[in-house]
Chains A and B, each alone.
Chain A
Amino acid sequence: MIHAGLEEQALALARRLIDAFERAEVDTIVINAAGCGSNVKDYGYLLRDDPAYAERAKAFSAKCKDISEVLAELEPRAPRHPLPLRVAYHDACHLQHAQRVQAQPRKVLKTIPQLQVLEIPDSAICCGSAGIYNLIEPGPAQELGDRKVLNCLATGADLVVSSNPGCLLQITAGLKRAARTLPVLHMVELLDASIRGTPASSLLRNGAARH
């Protein structure tokens, strides 16, 4: 909404979220969607003119962290089962550019034994999802999605991982257009599978079923 310039509605939702989390009294607020993360980290700036919320919003934003940031800070404790897979990591714009979180997800993925993390060419360029962009500007969004999918396929990976639902939808749709059934997963799903000991084969099968 902020993106789309609908300021008032956005501010109302922001205040509600701050209220909800103040009641929970936590040290860290974990976000697993890059777009949400970049936005909640900005609440301090967004609500700067609201006397009742300015300070609280600043404190709230300071607590917000992406899931990969939290996991990268914690020394791994839960044992990981090996996943012999080649994964292409897609940097979500709202993670790499808006939050400058680039090294952490890679670091977290590297804690999984036998997992090979591949870099996607032209990774700085957006996949075209960008919030509601692929809904209101479908033409360019689709073209960018197709480019991203070609770059993902060029890595020769078994699956694609990212940290943002928008990117996941966008890349899945692009793969469908290219008639490929590469699984697209959230980074944390892969880590969860490794901790729980889900075999790589069933991960690939279930991931592909989302198409």
Chain B
Amino acid sequence: MAAPWAELAAIVGSDHLRAATPADAVDGVPAQMVIKPASADELARALRVANAAGLSVIPRGGGTKLGWGNPPRRADLILSTARLDRVLEHAWGDMTATVQAGCTVEHFQRILAEHRQRLALDALWPERATIGGMLAANDSGALRVRFGALRDLIIGITLALPDGTLAKSGGKVVKNVAGYDLPKLATGSLGTLGVITEAVFRLYPLPRDVCSMSLTAASTDTLCQIVLAVQDSRLAFTGLQLRAESEGPPQLDVRFEGTTAGIQAQVNQLLQLAKYATQVDIPPNAPDIWKAREALWTGTEPALIAKFSVLPSQLSSFCGLVARVAQPLGVTWRLVGQGFGVGFLRLEAQRAKRGSACFRSRKLGQRTRATWRDTGRAALPTCDESGPRCVGLVRRRAATDAARQRAARPGRDAQPRPVHWGNLMPDPDAPETVLASPAPSVFDDHNPPAQKLIDECVHCGFCLPTCPTYALWHEEMDSPRGRIYLMKLGSEGKVSMTSTFVSHFDHCLGCMACVTACPSGVQYDKLIEATRAQIERHYPRSFGARLQRRMIFAIFPHPGRLRLLLGPIWLYQRLGLQWLVRRSGLLNLLPPALRGMEALLPSVSLRALRARMPSHMVAQGGTRRRVGLLQGCVQRVMFPGVNGATARVLAAEGCEVFIPRGQGVAAR
């Protein structure tokens, strides 16, 4: 069939179809023509024409990773995405962004940074690499240890298929679970399934502060031990990178992100774990150490660069094997591995010996059960070999996908519906009149939850796994993020103070685990405190709830009254009444709140009834400090031994202890 150049020129305009130069060669295979479509539609049409003419098509973004995978047999047409370089939408409120395939990673990040967000991924050569190329080659760096690989960050994709179809999958919603996951399938497909034209990503906030540290040790073994210790610890690192080479000591880089105080606490913990390191630096060129991967591709000698993937626990033995195999062959090597076991290795040798090093490296792979991918010459399927079969599969899937969604919701588009907030939000399909005029806030002016604090939450969801109520019910509204959103809706007057609204705040334990987990430093403690005070003022609780709360606050903050109860409780337990009540089912007649209180009763001893604390204790062996002891209201009655023990221990450690009379309580 005659080459369809004229037809292609008609699609993109003759300015954007040119003859290839030697610089366009792919892995040494010369190309014929280069085409630069301006839109996804032009690209799809060009692809259909090229496919019909039997051309071998090589999609190209920045061309930085074209050498990965097999060299092509032919390269008739280079399909450049250079003109598809726009960020189509940055929905910063939803933390998602839609971007065209030809946009460079750096440009994309710059746009996202305007709202202090980012694609949480450190790609190779971000200034040249494009989104499409990064996806097709499944590139990811050190951030993967915290935020996952590309397949965890992509939520939607548009692919141009060889027959000219533009297949869309996924959407712009972070929690989109409908249908087959084409975005994940296309990640790392090396252009074999189609040409990526657009992608939607979930985003993360830019950290307030970053701190990188480099640890040096005599052997990789020591560093690998630290790698395992760090991963077993509770440190929330965002980078854990091992750098080793045939000459010079190995290094381990660790990165922390978050608030200054949070980072400092983590650095201190790391220093304890890293006590076997010979040297710990805060490198002045911190951003550069995270680009160490890129340096593997620079060098004057011919080299083989391979991607490896081992279990984190095998990282140490892997480094050892590389060193043992390379040394007798006179091969120099360098590797950069991430803490989770994925990395790149550069083997540099004289041309004559290269083959044997390569052979040995494959053996090495078998011995460590490492997955090897020789990025120079791997046996991966190329587009012209297995393309049509794969493409057929994808198309079938995409079609079923859409059909299923239509069947599930007749009369609606195949678009996922937005998240609903129970019965709190007006139905989005209802007429607009509901929100015609701005409604007044449900909070009054005396310390409402501050708008500024509410806005600091960027809905990233880091708080979810640590929230006890979210762990129990997996309900968005019973998570810190959801509650902050409810506060926002409340202050905008978009919801009213209904029992549903109040229940989500009542469910919060106030444990503040979310405050520890939050990377943006949101002061949830201040927010929930303010909201609860507002609820108490404005929400009429039921008679039972009011009575119970009144009872709790009439008893617990007053140790004298609490102590008065101990006598009856002692009798209740000792006379066998508790046993009787529990066995007889009488307990089930009580309201659940009282049943809860009954279940918590500790065994009361008469000693507790008599317990009194002295008002002063002398330090033993000379006074080191004058301390006052605050006796908690529940502590002093329920656990009198604890206050006694505290005073004794303090005195034994050289503290003069005062226990002032007339203490109220902490009033928690």
Question: Do A and B form a real pair?
Answer: yes
How far is it, in angstroms, between the C-alpha of A70 and the C-alpha of B654 when the chains are bound? 11
Tell yes or no: B430 within 8 A of A by CB: no
Q: Are B649 and A191 within 8 A (Cβ)?
A: yes
Tell yes or no: A82 within 8 A of B by CB: no
Which residue among A74, A93, A97, A195 has the maximum number of chain B CB atoms within 10 Å of its CB? A97
- With A33-B634, A136-B549, A186-B642 known as contacts, the answer to whether A128 contacts B468 (CB < 8 A) is yes
Q: Are A6 and B472 within 8 A (Cβ)?
A: no
| From A13, A26, A94, A136, contact of B593 by CB (8 A) | A136
Tell yes or no: A30 within 8 A of B by CB: yes
Tell yes or no: B18 within 8 A of A by CB: no
Q: How many residues of B contact A (CB 8 A)?
A: 83
Chain B residues whose C-beta falls within 8 Å of the C-beta of A100 in the assembled complex: 261, 265, 516
Q: Are B630 and A36 within 8 A (Cβ)?
A: yes
| From A24, A130, A168, A176, contact of B511 by CB (8 A) | A130
Tell yes or no: A5 within 8 A of B by CB: yes
Q: How far is the CB of B317 from chain A (nearest CB, A)?
A: 27
How far is it, in angstroms, between the C-alpha of A100 and the C-alpha of B641 when the chains are bound? 26
Tell yes or no: A179 within 8 A of B by CB: no
Tell yes or no: A52 within 8 A of B by CB: no
Tell yes or no: B410 within 8 A of A by CB: no
| From B269, B526, B630, B639, contact of A31 by CB (8 A) | B630
- With A17-B665, A131-B668, A138-B593 known as contacts, the answer to whether A195 contacts B652 (CB < 8 A) is yes
Tell yes or no: B89 within 8 A of A by CB: no
- With A26-B658, A210-B602 known as contacts, the answer to whether A192 contacts B649 (CB < 8 A) is yes
Chain B residues whose C-beta falls within 8 Å of the C-beta of A126 in the assembled complex: 468, 509, 511, 513
Q: Are A130 and B516 within 8 A (Cβ)?
A: no
Residue of B nearest to A166 (CB): B634
Q: Are A136 and B639 within 8 A (Cβ)?
A: no
Q: How many residues of A contact B (CB 8 A)?
A: 89
- The A interface, classified by DSSP as helix, strand, loop or mixed, is helix
Tell yes or no: B560 within 8 A of A by CB: no
Q: Are B620 and A78 within 8 A (Cβ)?
A: yes
Tell yes or no: B653 within 8 A of A by CB: yes
Instruction: Tell which of B117-125, B135-143, B328-336, B621-629 binds the partner.
Output: B621-629
How many inter-chain residue pairs (CB < 8 Å) link A and B?
Answer: 263
Q: Are B515 and A97 within 8 A (Cβ)?
A: yes
Q: Which of B552-572 contact A (CB under 8 A)?
A: 552-553, 556-557
Q: Are A138 and B596 within 8 A (Cβ)?
A: yes
| From B268, B511, B600, B638, contact of A173 by CB (8 A) | B600
Residue of B nearest to A138 (CB): B596
Q: A4-B532, A36-B635, A132-B556 are in contact. List 16 more A-B contacts (CB 8 A).
A: A16-B663, A17-B663, A24-B660, A28-B627, A30-B627, A31-B632, A35-B668, A74-B625, A77-B621, A93-B512, A94-B511, A125-B471, A135-B597, A136-B506, A137-B507, A177-B599
Interface, chain A (partner B; CB < 8 A): 1-7, 9-10, 12-14, 16-17, 19-21, 23-33, 35-40, 45, 64, 67, 70-71, 74, 76-78, 93-94, 96-98, 100, 103, 123-126, 128, 130-144, 165-166, 168-170, 172-173, 176-177, 186, 188-189, 191-192, 195-196, 209-211
Interface, chain B (partner A; CB < 8 A): 234, 261, 265, 268-269, 466, 468-469, 471-472, 506-507, 509-513, 515-517, 525-526, 529, 532-537, 545, 548-549, 552-553, 556-557, 592-593, 595-597, 599-600, 602-603, 620-621, 624-630, 632, 634-635, 638-639, 641-646, 648-650, 652-655, 657-658, 660-668
List, sorted by A's number, 22 A–B pairs whose CB atoms are closer than 8 Å: A12-B664, A24-B660, A26-B628, A27-B627, A29-B627, A30-B646, A31-B630, A67-B649, A77-B654, A78-B653, A97-B516, A98-B512, A103-B268, A124-B234, A124-B516, A131-B510, A132-B556, A135-B552, A136-B548, A143-B472, A165-B642, A189-B645
Q: Which 9 A-B pairs have the closest CB atoms?
A: A138-B596, A36-B666, A5-B532, A33-B632, A192-B645, A93-B511, A5-B536, A130-B509, A126-B511
